[in-house]
Amino acid sequence: MKKSLFTVLMLAAGMAAAACLPVFAGEWKQDYVGCWYDNGNGTYPAGTWKWIDSDHNGVAERYYFDENGYCLKDGVTPDGCQVDCDGAWIQDGLVQIRYI
């Protein structure tokens, strides 16, 4: 009985400690220039691609961000990839995804 009570208390303590850790949840933001992705920790992607699961359904789309951090939409990226009107990478008209 003492052993199982100790185990339960240790698990509860571990869960309480984990709840105190900061969670960096990213979010899309927009201004008069365009939209960018706030990583949730004071940083944002710039001059790079990033896989983002915007709706937290376990499926991420890939977006290209210019040197200023803005998402490129409805065009061709510097490396020759096509992006749709939302900024998601497409091939043959289909949004490319990654399960995360």
> What HEC string does the chain produce?
CHHHHHHHHHHHHHHHHHHCCCCCCCEEEECCCCEEEECCCCCCCCCEEEEECCCCCCEEEEEEECCCCCECCCEECCCCCEECCCCEEEECCEECEEEC
Half-sphere exposure (Cβ direction) of 45: Cα atoms closer than 13 Å: 19
How high is the pLDDT of residue 2? 56
pTM for the complete prediction?
0.75
Structure confidence by residue, pLDDT tens digits, 37-61 = 999 999 999 999 999 999 999 999 9
The pLDDT confidence band at residue 6, using thresholds 50, 70 and 90, is low
Structure confidence by residue, pLDDT tens digits, 55-89 = 999 999 999 999 999 999 999 999 999 999 999 99
How high is the pLDDT of residue 64? 98
